[in-house]
Amino acid sequence: MFDNAVQRILALPRPRKRVIALLFDACLCLSTVWLAFCFRFSEWYVLSGVQFWTIPVSLAIALPLFITFGLYRAVFRFVGRSAFATIIKCVALYGLIYAVIFTVVSVPSIPRTVGILQPMLLLLAVGLSRFIARYFLYGAYSELLEAAAPIRTLVYGAGFQGRQLVSALGHSAEFNIVGFLDDDPSLAGMSLNSVKIYSPNKIEQICSDLRIHTVLLAMPQLDRNRRNEILESLRLAKVTVRTVPSISELATGRAQLTDVSDLDVEDLLGRTAVLPNPSLLERNVRDRVVLVTGAAGSIGSQLCREIAALGPKALLLLDQSEFGIYALQNELEEAFAQLSFPVVPLLADVCDEHRINSIISTWLPSTVYHAAAYKHVPLVEQNPAEGVKTNVFGTMVVARACVSAKVERMILVSTDKAVRPTNVMGATKRLAETILQALSEDQKFTVFSMVRFGNVLGSSGSVVPLFRQQIRRGGPITVTHEEITRYFMTVPEAAQLVIQAGAMATGGDVYLLEMGEPVKIIDLARRMVELSGLSVRDEQNPDGDISIIETGLRPGEKLYEELLIGDNPESTDHPKIWRAREKFSVWNELSPKLDELVIYASQGDARNIKIGLADLVPGYSPLARVVDLVSLNRKADSIAIETPIH
């Protein structure tokens, strides 16, 4: 409470502070006059009659002198020797005048000693009050300054970009650059522009001794393995790790050198990103009309960025989101203003057969990337009819339109959750794959293919944005199960995989990326906490900053995901992309069952939707209970809901 009062005093406007100080000194004059009488009569004395005149006389002399001598212009928290000397001179002059009136001249009923005692007491009171004010206010002010002071920072990398960064941040209000870290042992102990270079060999001790809060990574050309080693050492040093823009971002004007940001998702992934094959990227994009459905989504928008950079003849952006399409169109037209191809915004629902046929027959795209889908597992489980409509029949509508317009290639963006699915989302995506495989056999002009990958770091619904938000709030971080693992890739990797795989397809192919070992979600959470300069609070560290709690597996969620249904994937023209050949039903067998499923979806019949999916998707193991939100709130469905699905 006392600290809060001090902070409020410091926050007051200066004129108000001066008025408070003046009133306080007036109180000191009054109290010291009374104390002078008490000392004179050796008792707690009550003034009477003419004795009261000693108070206004004191105020009339002291306050004008204090103002004239500048006692209220001084900042109390910085009062030093010169200020105390001024107080002595001022009160000495005051004492001389006061003593002349009440000691030399004297006034009946007022002891002469009061004219001497009171100035002495006033000098003591005023001096002591300034000392106390300096003691408390300076300490509080120092804490405020320390809290607002630039962050003590090291720059990792004393190369060109590191030097430029230090120069740019020389007068930064946010960062106080106290040194470089560099792997070159010959630079250790040297200085660059008066900034010392340290060896990272004892990085934990250096960060502790220098009270480092943040390390900025300024090494754009460093290979991923070494970068991961550095991040691991910084994680142990318990500092916040941030990164600076790459040279390509600086060169294209997309970022400035001082645009410091959180670590890239590639750094959180902990593995080397798969590099694309330029010839595969260009094969079905350059100088062609390309359509992307779900263009405003995470994968769809990145697909559009990659395609725009490859120089298509025209790029068609199709999505339901008005704002998403508007923002993406503006971004592309600004970033690729030097290119001559048109960017066409198209508002449409992929389930609207007439609209989709009109679009495809009008622009006659050579390549269609179908990224429109509902992908959030719990939400699709709670809204299965909409999941079936968009993921299954939306795909079928686009595919049929492609066949009708003789589109050369259609590539479906799929998911690892389509493999032996336990949820509606995964089942609908596997059924979408099956539809394209069946259509591929039923006709020979349009080449259909599917690209299957794991979780995409940084995409909408990804754990990374969620964990970052939870860390900023001070935790806790929520994970559904401590053993849950997932395959991860970055958004650019996913988009490039889709483009390259589509270029290699011969018809009905399922492609997947070699994604390394699956990552434990709880390990990813720990890495994010520690690279934020914080510690995990658990049984071994009860005083940690951020706790991680389990919330339990959500409906339809699996502990482990797979990428293949069968075995023995085939190699392709890209060393990190594999082709799978998987069983599917022919179109004549599939079509009647799809007609039944569309009826169930239009009726919102969650129970029969799951039964229909189980019949159409081998390996699908639906939940025993329907968790469709509409069905759960219909009393008439309560008996059906309790009945297990076989």
Q: Give residue-wise pLDDT tens across range 113-165.
A: 888 888 898 888 887 877 777 666 555 444 444 444 567 788 887 777 777 77
Contact 503, 483 (CB under 8 A): no
Place of tokens 């990659």: 306
Predicted pLDDT at 412:
94
- Nearest partner of 164 among 186, 180, 150, judged by Cα: 180
pLDDT at 506: 82
Name which of 199-213, 400-414, 567-581 the model is least confident about: 567-581
Q: Residue 326 in contact with residue 352, Cβ under 8 Å? A: no
User: Under 8 Å CB-to-CB from 393, ≥6 apart: which residues?
Assistant: 351, 594, 598, 601
Buried b (16+ CB within 10 A) or exposed e, 307-345: bbebbbebbbbbbbeeebbeebbeebeeebeebebebbb
**593 token code pair:** 């069952």
Instruction: Give the pLDDT band of residue 400 (cuts 50, 70, 90).
Output: very high
Q: Is the pLDDT of residue 550 over 80?
A: yes
Query: Which of 601 and 560 is assigned the larger pLDDT?
Result: 601
User: What is the predicted pLDDT for the residue at 136?
Assistant: 62
Q: What is the mean pLDDT of the chain?
A: 79
Structure tokens at 223: 């290979």
pLDDT of residue 541: 80
Q: Where does the pLDDT of residue 463 fall: very low under 50, low under 70, confident under 90, or very high at 90 and above?
A: confident
CA distances, 438 to each of 242, 396, 421 (Å): 48, 11, 19
Q: Are 417 and 425 in contact (CB under 8 A)?
A: yes
The answer, yes or no, to whether residue 284 has pLDDT greater than 80, is: yes
What's the pLDDT at 105?
84
pLDDT at 396 over 70: yes
Confidence of residue 642 (pLDDT cuts 50, 70, 90): very low
Q: Which of 188, 176, 242, 163 is nearest to 212 (CA)?
A: 176
Q: Are 425 and 374 in contact (CB under 8 A)?
A: yes
Please tell me the predicted confidence (pLDDT) of residue 11.
55
At 156-215, the pLDDT tens digits run: 877 777 777 777 666 555 677 778 888 777 778 787 767 788 887 877 888 888 888 888
Given this model, what pLDDT does residue 521 score?
Answer: 83
Residue whose structure tokens are 């090494």: 219
33/42 Cα distance (integer angstroms): 14
User: Is 177 in contact with 167 (CB distance < 8 Å)?
Assistant: no
Task: Cite the beta strand spans of 359-426 per DSSP E.
Answer: 367-370, 409-413
* Cα 485 from Cα 520, distance rounded (Å): 4
More confident residue, 620 or 515: 620
Task: Give the model's pLDDT for residue 157.
Answer: 77
278-630 falls under which CATH superfamily?
Answer: NAD(P)-binding Rossmann-like Domain (3.40.50.720)
Q: Is the pLDDT of residue 447 over 90?
A: yes
Query: Which H helix or E strand runs over 403?
Result: helix 395-404
Please report, in angstroms and rounded to a whole number, the separation of the first and last CA atoms in the chain: 64
What percent of the chain clears pLDDT 90, i.e. is strictly above it? 18
In CATH terms, the fold of domain 151-263 is Rossmann fold (3.40.50)
- Out of 4-18, 104-118, 254-268, 477-491, which region has the weakest mean confidence (pLDDT)? 254-268
Domain with CATH 3.40.50.720 in the chain: 151-263, 278-630
What pLDDT is stored for residue 126 in this prediction? 83
Average pLDDT over residues 435-464: 80
Least confident of 64-78, 80-94, 189-203, 314-328: 64-78
User: Tell me, what's the pLDDT at 204?
Assistant: 81
* Nearest-angstrom CA–CA distance, 25 and 12: 18
Q: Is 319 helix (H, G, I), strand (E, B) or coil?
A: strand
Choice among 308-322, 448-462, 553-567 with the minimum mean pLDDT = 553-567
For 518-548, the pLDDT digits (tens) are 778 888 888 778 777 777 888 888 877 888 8
pLDDT at 638: 44
Give 288-302 pLDDT, tens digit per residue. 999 999 999 988 999
Q: How confident is the model at residue 250 (pLDDT cuts 50, 70, 90)?
A: very low
Of 117 and 486, more confident: 117
Query: What's the average model confidence in pLDDT over 593-604?
Result: 89
pLDDT given for residue 388 in this prediction: 94
Cα angle vertex 534, ends 477, 147, to 5°? 120
Residue 64, pLDDT score: 87
Q: What angle do CA 458, 463, 464 make, to 5 degrees?
A: 45
Determine the Cα–Cα distance for residues 551 and 135; give it in Å rounded to an integer: 50
Q: Which of 229-243, 453-467, 580-594 has the highest mean pLDDT?
A: 580-594
